[in-house]
Chain A
């Protein structure tokens, strides 16, 4: 084994040099400085809704799931809807970080950090719902396959088990991905901040010195993680879709579900990136880094996935009609014209029709329009899951036990709390960690300097 190069050893024992001070560093680290009253207010609102949801959840555990609006035969409600919604949101991050990384799409660099962070936060938010949704959360560890003295095992046939595995794998990879990508930036932050933050960044940066050897290892890790994460982008939401597709519920039982859900997830994920990044860009003046070019690219993705999702909507109706299965036919009929018709039309218009406006190139860079559209898409995607899950369950095979479900205040508080949790985590994140990957931006700057802009 060769000894480490002398200069790196020296670097370790020498006091750290004055941190390099570039415009990029200043611009991007400024985001992490201080916090105005507006920030604290937002954080308070977010934390408050988390607190309210926590109280409701506590009461629900104590009293029983009956405090939610469930009504036979709809045994999955707003909790599962929101769970699927957040898992969907979690998709854009890995897509941007991993797949676009592998495709060497450089424009991703400006948004990948925030997208990755969103992924982790969305997965963490989604994971809460597994505990919120089950009737005996204090026994929910029964679902984990580990040798135990109870002599119990789990059912590997159950999509819910696949779900548990898929989500936990995805969460692990996402966190690793985010963390590995953060290391060089953490080192920059370590060099700039003092006090407890310095300690935090020192610990997290793990002695990053920016040596070429470290860079080499770092780049290889990112590459490998991208390779690992890429199939997960497709698998996680496929598995989540199988939660439904494996069943025999009319409106759930469809082979189209996996691609349909993955497209929907990417669709909603990009919309959420827009929803979050547009205000962040505005507030922190990051127009130089997150440019119209990025928005346009994301718009194109949204347009593409909207077409896929819209196609899936039509295909579902076609298959229902073509199948000749009465239950299937009436389920879809009642989706559009039954008690959930508002949700259905919200879903079709917000997800299938409105995004088609992005064919107009001017709108693709019209930031206010994109912001409004992205919010509408998020709403539409929540309703998509609502329509599929609740619409399917409420009108099944036996008309004697058809029922109608409406989420009640308890569920809506917890759903709102999940948005609060997501917002709270994100707000904390942008103050603690660089929201744009500094090192990657620098890479781009250097790249541009040497080769000129490639766009």
Chain B
């Protein structure tokens, strides 16, 4: 029966064509030989990619995917341009998600753990019978514990539980938003998580939600915010962003103002601002979001002075932000994220919702709606603890764990491991080995998302479909099918017939199934639903939270923008991509303020012991200026002991901050993260951190430039410096040379002349640093598109990372630092300073490329379209090109990375359009030349030139804020030229003084500073 299902699936979906042609089912029977199609599947043309619309499951944002499939193998995940959430972009985590299917740690078949710890494979039939027998015996002592899944699967699980008479199910997310839902219940009387829409906003205050990197829907919010902030020369929108939080995160570095309030007091700051707004609006006779008397009574005691005292923020600043916020037309406040979820998280979230209500954002940018009946609410930590208690008492006989790794993600004090031991029979549905599945008695591997059917409902009005694009690589079975089979074996009634795929199709039968398959789902624009402030708001206790334990520091466990809650730790691209803030890869680090480090006499890499009441972890320290002195921050995500990439050969890679967090909850029982005070003591040991960029001082060089709004408005920029307005396109004055005479080196140039006269194209890029948030989505997209290997911690320690594209991060203009006899300072951040420039650095495709003349074997050369080509199999590895590249964007294969770092079956995901480089070969970015060539073939067939927008390199495609434009510089109407022209006043070329004639024009970041809104 199961085999027939797969046959159906193959026929209908038309994927796994290779498998279909050879007519076999199991991985073990895969043919060894590569043979051409005898009967070519109708939809497959070798060499051409097929795209399948699906949905990303890496977080709950539910971005739409276009899975690029080549000859039956998904090779890249791209954003679905039609999808309302991400509109074609995809974040780093989403991009890397493709690696789950090709992980060397895939669980390849169902297996049962023996008493001696070994695993005994068994057939799916036997496994189903075994599970059925256990469930039959356990009855209501059967419990299901899992992560958030799509509505159809979730519904099926609920049905299954009812049918087999199992006990209550828990949906647990480590970074759940229970506090937000609870706050909505209290403030508006509406049970559900409000959604935030930043479209056309002109003022955003983020109360530590880190919404650009680790929030609810980072891609969507990034795109919306950056669109709202786009400043064109004809005067555009200028949304301001204020960040309230103790640590300079990626989001902070995109803000105009950063208020480093005492951690946990963000809610109080929100109330202080709300009071200012409330007073202003009330005196202006405007609506204040509900019963004025009620709101006045709540806000009454939060005048600026009181709030200032509690939060450490100056009263003037609260006043000023408040009045700016009140004056804004479409202001939005965003709630705290997991890192700042304290034991008063509901109150803090409530305060932010109240501020939104007061400023009139609710029903406009904030939509408050009831949770759909079908949606299973996420469990609070209290509920999880009660399950654990039940297990310890022996009230749980069978525990089914799916889409979750509780052994890693639950705090130590709940003793989940002990509970697991008490449970007779633990069943794991993991598709990749993790800490929890290693402890399971029966492992029934699920398909990976790329092999599965399913759906997602990220928010009201959006239903997104998950369809398989890869024939299952191993002997796995969809969770839904396993449940259906088990129920059948139990003889339970009330469940649908057929396979899980049928269930999904039935769920979607209301709409047009074929159309949904093609589009990736169905969505319609819903007007945001509003609500007014309810009486229950008075129940909230607004106060600064208590911390457990004593210690000079507040322990901040912030979500990693890349590894998130740890689920990304086994994806090598996410480990290899440097953290957008500290640029550390593959390791854990403890951030403390530079002042605190100085006081302790420790430097970067010195190992410290961070101690809470629960325990201590030892990890290298990373002193920063961008952190409050009373905070020690450790990112969540590392410290795994299982996984080829997540662990260091079976021992923990880095440390897990979760292991020293107390199991404390907020008012509603949701998990609180900001709960512990910690002490930090140097251990005397040292461990060098593998960081890709050590120094954030740009030393005044022409990289990561910034310009104030005022200077931009005047149209003059850096008159003293050499880069002047117009240097980008040859017009305008040379800096400091008003008489129109240029120094030889500083002559403006026409980048479009750097292709041959006959060529119709000169490929170029415009990168807007004001849009770039530093999120690193492009880095991962580039790595996957171009088969860039990872080099691991060992390699990163020697700066041998292979990524063709890096995000450089500079703080301010820097200085030359020519000082003798002083330990160099690497970190120049300052508290409440947001002048951080993120500058994507990739091959500049120079017109006068320094790398080209020095290659003795012509392995790198200038092509007729102005690109700096690279012929890998001609390269002998003298490495002179890299020495002579001022941008240092060339990377060298020190080892046979493509073989050593791609364990089976990872090589199945290599992009067949891009050469895999061997040991001893130099490599670099060529603006995704394979995509250019692909578009050229299509255009040639139609006897036309390549149209603008037809070619998009992987980096530009994935960018959530559309910071990168790519196109033909010879086409005056192309996006890339228009964007540089419109922003002429802030265009520059990296290291212009070297006269390399780059094909990339950068647009300087705009410093909006403290200037008044409007």
Residues of B within 8 A of A64 (CB): 893-896, 919-920
Q: Report whether B876 and A135 are in contact in the complex, using a CB–CB cutoff of 8 Å.
A: yes
Please tell me the size bucket of the interface on A: 35 or more
Across the A-B interface, give the 10 residue pairs with the lowest CB-CB distance, nearest first.
A135-B877, A135-B920, A66-B894, A75-B879, A136-B920, A64-B895, A72-B799, A158-B856, A160-B856, A400-B808
By a beta-carbon cutoff of 8 Å, the part of chain B in contact with chain A is: 693-701, 703, 795, 798-801, 806, 808-810, 814, 816-818, 820-821, 841, 850, 853-858, 874-880, 882-884, 886-888, 891-896, 918-922, 991, 993-994
Tell whether, in the assembled complex, residue B876 and residue A140 are in contact, meaning their CB atoms are under 8 Å apart.
yes
Contacts of B703 in A (CB 8 A): 398-400
In this assembly, does A93 line the interface, its C-beta being within 8 Å of a C-beta of chain B? no
Tell me the smallest distance from the CB of B796 to a CB of chain A, in Å. Answer: 10
Residue of A nearest to B918 (CB): A136
Whether the pair B883, A249 counts as a contact (CB closer than 8 A) is: yes
Minimum Cβ distance to chain A for residue B957 (Å): 24
Whether A63 sits at the interface, judged by CB under 8 Å, is: yes
Report the bound CA distance from A72 to B696 in whole Å: 17
A330 in contact (CB, < 8 A): yes
Q: Is A158 within 8 A of B697, CB to CB?
A: no
Say which one of A19-27, A147-155, A210-218, A254-262 lies at the interface with B: A147-155
Partner of B893, one of A76, A135, A152, A153: A135
A to B CB contacts below 8 Å, 26 in the list: A63-B895, A66-B795, A66-B894, A72-B798, A72-B888, A76-B879, A134-B920, A137-B876, A139-B876, A142-B876, A152-B874, A153-B858, A154-B857, A155-B858, A158-B854, A158-B856, A158-B880, A161-B856, A247-B880, A249-B883, A325-B993, A326-B700, A330-B699, A397-B991, A399-B699, A400-B693
- Inter-chain contact A75/B920, CB cutoff 8 Å: no
Residues of B within 8 A of A72 (CB): 798-801, 888, 891-892
- Given A153-B858, A247-B854, is A400 in contact with B809 using a C-beta cutoff of 8 Å? yes
Q: How far is the CA of A161 from the CA of B855 in the complex (A)?
A: 9
Is the CB of A225 closer than 8 A to any CB of chain B? no
A397-B886 in contact (CB<8A): yes
Q: Is the CB of A247 within 8 A of B883?
A: yes
Query: Does B876 lie within 8 Å of A134, measured CB to CB?
Result: yes
Quick one: given A133-B878, A155-B853, A160-B856, are A398 and B841 in contact (CB under 8 Å)?
Answer: yes
Give the shortest distance, in Å, between A29 (CB) and chain B (any CB): 45
Given A63-B895, A243-B880, list of 4 further CB < 8 A pairs?
Answer: A64-B920, A136-B877, A137-B876, A400-B698
Which B residue sits closest to A244, measured CB to CB?
B883
Contact (Cβ within 8 A) B856 A164: yes
Question: What is the CA–CA distance of A231 and B262 in the complex, to the nearest angstrom?
Answer: 74
Nearest A residue to B821, CB-CB: A337
- A137 CA / B855 CA spacing, docked (Å): 15
- How far, in angstroms, from A330 to B882 measured CA to CA in the complex? 20
Q: In the complex, which residues of chain B have a beta carbon less than 8 angstroms from the beta carbon of A397?
A: 701, 886-887, 991, 994
Query: In the bound complex, do residue B858 and residue A152 qualify as a contact, i.e. CB atoms below 8 Å apart?
Result: yes
Contact of B855 among A70, A158, A398 (CB under 8 A): A158
A308 to B809, CA, bound (A): 43
Contact for A157 among B699, B841, B853, B921, CB less than 8 A: B853
List of B residues within 8 angstroms of A401 by Cβ? 693, 799, 806, 888
When the two chains form their complex, are residues A333 and B818 in contact, meaning their CB atoms are under 8 A apart?
A: yes
A51 at the interface (CB under 8 A from B): no
Asked if B887 and A70 make an inter-chain contact with CB atoms under 8 angstroms apart, the answer reads no
Residues of A within 8 A of B (CB): 63-66, 69-73, 75-76, 133-137, 139-140, 142-143, 152-155, 157-161, 164, 243, 246-249, 325-327, 329-330, 333, 337, 393, 396-403
- Residues A158 and B850 in contact, CB atoms below 8 Å apart: no
Min CB gap A70→B, angstroms = 7
Contact status B698-A143, CB under 8 Å: no
Q: Which residues of B contact A247 (CB under 8 A)?
A: 850, 854, 880, 883-884
Complexed CA–CA distance, A139 and B814 (Å): 44
Q: Which residue of A lies closest to B699 (CB)?
A: A399
B799 touching A73 by the CB < 8 A rule? yes
Residues of the A chain whose Cβ atoms lie less than 8 Å from the Cβ of B893? 64, 135
- B879–A135 touching, CB < 8 Å: yes
Cα A224 to Cα B991 with chains together (Å): 50
Docked complex Cα distance between A154 and B696 (Å): 40
- Is the CB–CB distance between A326 and B857 below 8 Å? no
Inter-chain contacts of B855 with A (CB < 8 A): 155, 158, 160
Q: Which residues in B have their C-beta under 8 angstroms from that of A153?
A: 858
B701→A327 contact, CB < 8 A? yes
Name which residue of chain A comes closest to B860, CB basis: A155
- Which of B810, B879, B892, B922 has its CB near the most chain A CB atoms (within 10 A)? B879
Interface centre among B887, B895, B919 (most CB of A within 10 A): B919
Chain B residue numbers with a CB within 8 Å of A135 are: 875-879, 892-893, 919-922
Check A73–B882 contact: CB distance below 8 A: yes
Considering the chains assembled together, what is the distance between the CA atoms of A63 and B896 in angstroms? 8
B206 to chain A, nearest CB (A): 27
Q: Max chain A CB contacts within 10 Å: which of B700, B856, B884?
A: B856
Q: Is the CB of B694 within 8 A of A402?
A: yes
The answer to whether A326 and B699 touch across the interface, beta carbons within 8 angstroms, is yes
Contact among B695, B800, B877, B918 with A400 in the assembled complex (CB-CB below 8 Å): B695
Bound-complex Cα distance A94 to B806 (A): 49
Return chain B residues, CB-CB under 8 Å to A325. 993
The smallest beta-carbon distance between B98 and chain A, in angstroms, is: 27
Query: For the complex, what is the distance from the CA of A326 to the CA of B886, rounded to whole Å?
Result: 14
Please give me the residue from chain B that is nearest to A70 by CB atom. Answer: B894
Closest residue of B by beta carbon distance from A69: B798
B822 CB, min distance to chain A CBs, angstroms? 9
Instruction: Give, as a whole number of angstroms, the nearest-CB distance from A329 to chain B.
Output: 7
- In the bound assembly, the distance between CA atoms of A269 and B578 in angstroms comes to 47
- Residues on B with beta carbons closer than 8 Å to the beta carbon of A75: 879, 882-883, 892
Given contacts A161-B856, A247-B854, contact A71 B816 (CB under 8 A): no
Q: Which residues on A sit within 8 Å (CB–CB) of B857?
A: 142-143, 152, 154-155
Cα A15 to Cα B808 with chains together (Å): 82
Q: Which of A158, A243, A329 has the most CB of B within 10 A?
A: A158
A329 touches B818 (CB 8 A): yes
> Which residues of B have CB within 8 Å of A133?
878
Give the CA-CA distance A402 to B810 in the complex, in Å.
Answer: 13
Quick check: A155 and B856 within 8 Å, CB to CB?
yes
CB < 8 Å neighbour of A154 from B821, B856, B879, B919: B856
CB distance from B268 to the nearest CB of A (A): 38
Question: What A residues does B698 contact at CB under 8 A?
Answer: 399-400
Give complex CA distance A139, B921 in Å.
Answer: 11
Residues in chain B near residue A248, CB distance under 8 A? 850, 884, 886, 994
Q: Which residues of B have CB within 8 Å of A66?
A: 795, 800, 894-895
A96 CA to B565 CA, complexed, in Å: 72
Q: Once the chains bind, are A393 and B883 in contact (CB under 8 Å)?
A: yes
Q: Which of A76, A136, A249, A329 has the most CB of B within 10 A?
A: A136
Measured between C-beta atoms, what is the minimum distance from B817 to chain A in Å? 8
Give the complex CA separation of A399 and B809 in angstroms.
Answer: 10
On whether the beta carbons of B920 and A76 are closer than 8 Å, the reply is no
A398 interface neighbour in B801, B874, B886, Cβ under 8 Å: B886
Which residue on B lies nearest to A157, using beta carbons?
A: B853
Given the known interface contacts A75-B882, A247-B850, A397-B886, the answer about A142 and B874 at a Cβ–Cβ threshold of 8 Å is yes
Residues of B within 8 A of A329 (CB): 816, 818
Q: Which residue of A lies closest to B879 (CB)?
A: A75
List the A side residues contacting B892 at CB < 8 Å.
Answer: 65, 70, 72, 75, 135
**Residue among B801, B808, B891 facing the most chain A CB atoms (10 A cut-off):** B808
Residues of A within 8 A of B874 (CB): 142, 152
Q: Across the interface, do A136 and B921 meet the contact criterion of CB distance under 8 Å?
A: yes
Chain A residue contacts of B820, Cβ below 8 A: 337
Give A161 Cβ to nearest chain B Cβ, in Å: 4
Q: Contacts of A73 on B, CB cut-off 8 Å?
A: 799, 882-883, 888
What residues of chain A lie closer than 8 Å to B875, measured between beta carbons?
135-136
- Provide the bound-state CA to CA distance between A155 and B878, in Å: 13
Q: How far is the CA of A73 from the CA of B886 in the complex (A)?
A: 10
* A399 to B850 alpha-carbon distance, docked (Å): 18
A71 touches B798 (CB 8 A): yes
